[in-house]
Homo-oligomer: A and B are copies of this chain.
């Protein structure tokens, strides 16, 4: 729709959305003295019949972003947080089904992992033999991610992770590459390969007519397969490792149709110690910050359409 307030103006509104980003909700579930914790960062974005607010500032179709924040908190109480995915699906459906002017909702969730603190014998409040009932330490592991999109008909669930830092201290080579007049790199027959895995995978599931995956199991299994494929691939290039990581996930997890990776090649340069009369037999490395290689690719189940965007985003 062209701007009605300025007929003839050659300017139109395109894709638009709005919402509340980064609502930090922590949910404690109590089973007597035994507590469980969910720690999420939730971002909601809605789109729909919103031309008018852009053209004139008339807010009749604008549910305040403050209300979205309230809804996140209220739903945590009313429905609990079984998993990031389930919580996001419920929120996304709510906004689309409860308001005619909302045509699409996208909910993104970051989840931070906690584990129980090991206790001493002195603790009078143990869970099992040696774990605190309501004391936790953040694991600091990778951040778990999910994005739910719902348009009134189908759900699209893309889950993932970021900040999973891995290293192989051998079994990586890089040679036989193309060369031009600006190439000075020496071939490497035994190098360190390190990366921060950022991955997103799309589930085949699109709605309740199908059985939903067990989201937590699926997450744990994808993580395990990625780590194992990284560790168990003798690598001739980071691209090859990436493909093996993706292929193993697609091979092993029938609930997933597509996975995309963004893998920085965290260069570890062998330090030249010859000036000091020392040999460096693949022992001492300088871990560089910038620049870094960046390898990105999608791996698909044969016959499936790619739907994860080229640039991975978090929030």
- B54–A243 CB distance below 8 A: yes
* CB-CB under 8 A for A11 and B120, given A18-B239, A178-B99, A283-B77: no
Inter-chain CA distance A280–B27, complex, in Å, is 11
Please name all residues of chain B whose beta carbon is closer than 8 Å to the beta carbon of A284 when the two chains form the complex: 25-27, 73, 76-77
Chain A residues numbered 1-36 whose CB sits less than 8 Å from any CB in chain B: 2-3, 9-30, 35
Kindly state the separation between the CA atoms of A9 and B69 in the bound complex, as whole angstroms. 45
A87 CB to nearest chain B CB (Å):
12
| A contacts with B, residue count (CB < 8 A) | 151
- In whole angstroms, how far apart are the Cα atoms of A55 and B37 in the complex? 30
In the complex, the chain B residue whose C-beta lies closest to that of A176 is B59
| Complexed CA–CA distance, A300 and B10 (Å) | 8
Query: A214 at interface (Cβ–Cβ under 8 A)?
Result: no
Q: Which one of B10, B14, B184 contacts A258 once the chains associate, using CB atoms below 8 Å? A: B14
A20's partner among B119, B171, B291 (CB-CB below 8 A) is B291
Q: Count the copies.
A: 4
Q: Are B57 and A300 in contact (CB under 8 A)?
A: no
* Beta-carbon contacts under 8 Å, A152-183 to B: 163-171, 174-183
- List the B residue with the shortest CB-CB distance to A281: B30
B23, B101, B237: the one contacting A290 at CB < 8 Å is: B23
In the complex, which of the residues B11, B29, B177 contacts A247, with contact meaning CB atoms closer than 8 Å? B11
Q: In the bound complex, what is the Cα–Cα distance between A65 and B294 (angstroms)?
A: 8
CA distance A171 to B89 in the complex (A): 34
User: In angstroms, how far is the closest chain B Cβ from the Cβ of A144?
Assistant: 12
A107: Cβ under 8 A from any B Cβ: no
Q: Determine if B14 and A239 form an interchain contact, defined as CB atoms under 8 angstroms apart.
A: no
A59 near B20 (CB under 8 angstroms)?
no
Q: Which residue from B59, B66, B192 sits with its C-beta under 8 Å from A28?
A: B192
Verify A294–B26 contact, CB threshold 8 A.
no
A264–B21 CB distance below 8 A: yes
Least CB distance from A139 to B in Å reads 7
Given the known inter-chain contacts A20-B293, A178-B99, A242-B54, please indicate yes or no for A64 contacting B227, CB distance below 8 A. no
A227 adjacent to B118 (CB under 8 Å) = yes
Given contacts A21-B294, A26-B287, 5 further A-B contacts (CB under 8 A): A11-B302, A14-B298, A18-B296, A27-B283, A134-B171
For this complex, 28 residue pairs linking A to B, each with C-beta atoms less than 8 Å apart, are A2-B302, A10-B250, A11-B300, A11-B301, A15-B297, A18-B295, A20-B291, A21-B292, A24-B287, A24-B288, A25-B287, A28-B285, A30-B169, A54-B297, A55-B240, A56-B236, A59-B236, A63-B179, A64-B183, A67-B185, A70-B276, A74-B276, A99-B180, A117-B231, A122-B228, A122-B232, A137-B167, A138-B166
